[in-house]
Amino acid sequence: MRTRLTAALLATTMFAMPAEAHAQAMSAEEAASLRAELAALRAKVETLEARLDAAQTAPAPAPASSLAPPPAPAPGTPPVTAKPATEIAWKGAPEIRTADGWSFKPRGRVQIDIAGVDAPDGAGIRSGLATEFRRVYLGVDGKIPGGFSYRVEADVANNAVELTDVYFTYGTGPLSVTVGQVKPFWSLDEMTSDLFTSAMERAAFSQAFGFERRVGLSAQYKRGAVLLQGGVFGANARDLLDDDNRSMSVDGRAVWMPKLGDVQLHLGGSLHLRDLGNPAATVRYRARPFAHTTDVRLVDTGELDAKGERGMGLEAAVIAGPFHAAGEGYWQTVQRRASVDPTYFGGYAEVGMVLTPGDRRGYKDGAFDRLKPSKPITEGGIGAIELNARYDHLDLNDAGLVGGRQQAALLSLVWAPIDYIRLTANYGKLWIDDARVATATGDRDYTADTFGLRTQIDF
């Protein structure tokens, strides 16, 4: 490029010279003048070539738009902040969480029972095994920034929809406040989720005395080994539209739950005062023979007029390595309008042992928790296996009112192959006195046997 430019300029200069310079010899002065012009011309050519080389090697300038700073936001416009990263964890189901405190998780459980009761002829219980969807829970729960959390859940088993836990909670420290439908802090057996109970059915007094979720305002204080729970409750969500239901209760529970090395202790008590709020109100206490597949109750007080109820419970438990023991007693007094107030009693004593090495029964916040296998079948183990024995007692006889007495010796075997799968097998021997239902021979004192098998999954 440089050679072509020099040659072109020299050719131009030569042609530009006067014709006489070509026609005759130049004098010495003319030759010197021509050499000076050529030298000046060469210097100009070299200057042009240097500028041309610099232009070819310099980087292209950035577009004006990329060099200009972003426009400033209009006055009053809030600053734009980056959205927090979203994480997805797995706890039986996907749990979506953000760095600023939001979370969302679907939840549910399915329990399929096969159970039966072998009772004397005439007791009204059909022999053989029956199958039912005991529970099919579907719902969601999560957290909201600022210390808020929520849960909405319903049971859709047996072609019916019933709200279970539906609540909204606020709490940033040891104290939390909840509004919605929850359990009014009943006994240890009742506060333990049905996912983690040692048998297919809870203690007989739990179902006999009408323990159920109710809508209300409650609070919980938990610090160290102390747990205090209390609230004011109305009716269950399904009864809120009943104009005759104006019941109101005050319920409280206190638990001391120290951990001494490897040993978890549990000591607690609860108190429940309820005004039925209806001059025509009645109550009825009865219990199934530890199988939900039958609607027959062998012990039953029948309908009793009542203006209120008063309940009191004591509870104790210990977990030491693979061994655990638990026991409860509960007294329920019916405050009648014009008669003597009967007091009924129920309770149980239980021992259990986790047979697989390294496993133990779970415990959390004043209740038994999940049995987690240290060697699940997904890692080449056999899961966790637990054996339990319980004596259960329910007495519905008092103040001249005869509802019957039911005693039971129960054995259960629990197998958890992984965290979220559980199979439970039950056998029970029942002794019934003063039964509500007599046999074909008119006998009201007899025995019965109960069997059950549950397959369960939760997420």
For residue 18, what pLDDT band results from cuts at 50, 70 and 90? Answer: very low
pLDDT digits (tens, 9 = 90+) for 387-399: 999 999 999 999 9
- Give the pLDDT mean for 213-238: 97
User: Quick one: pLDDT at residue 5?
Assistant: 46
User: Quick one: pLDDT at residue 209?
Assistant: 98
pLDDT digits (tens, 9 = 90+) for 132-164: 999 999 999 999 999 999 999 999 998 889 999
Rounded Cα gap, residues 118 and 409, in angstroms: 15
**Residue-averaged pLDDT of the chain:** 90
Class of the CATH domain delimited by 110-133+182-458: mainly beta
User: Quick one: pLDDT at residue 72?
Assistant: 65
- Give the pLDDT mean for 202-227: 97
- Whole-prediction pTM value? 0.81
Rounded Cα gap, residues 179 and 181, in angstroms: 7
pLDDT digits (tens, 9 = 90+) for 283-293: 999 999 999 99
Higher pLDDT, 265 or 21: 265
pLDDT digits (tens, 9 = 90+) for 311-352: 999 999 999 999 999 999 999 999 999 899 999 999 999 999
pLDDT at 51 over 90: no
pLDDT digits (tens, 9 = 90+) for 56-106: 655 555 554 444 555 666 666 666 656 668 999 988 899 999 999 999 999
pLDDT digits (tens, 9 = 90+) for 374-425: 999 999 999 999 999 999 999 999 999 999 999 999 999 999 999 999 999 9
- Give the pLDDT mean for 181-207: 97
- What length does the chain have? 459
Share of the chain above pLDDT 90, in %: 78
Structure tokens at 160: 């019916």
Buried b (16+ CB within 10 A) or exposed e, 338-374: eeeebebbbbbebebbbebeebbbbbeebbbebbbbe
Rounded Cα gap, residues 141 and 91, in angstroms: 13
Rounded Cα gap, residues 214 and 233, in angstroms: 6
Rounded Cα gap, residues 344 and 304, in angstroms: 13
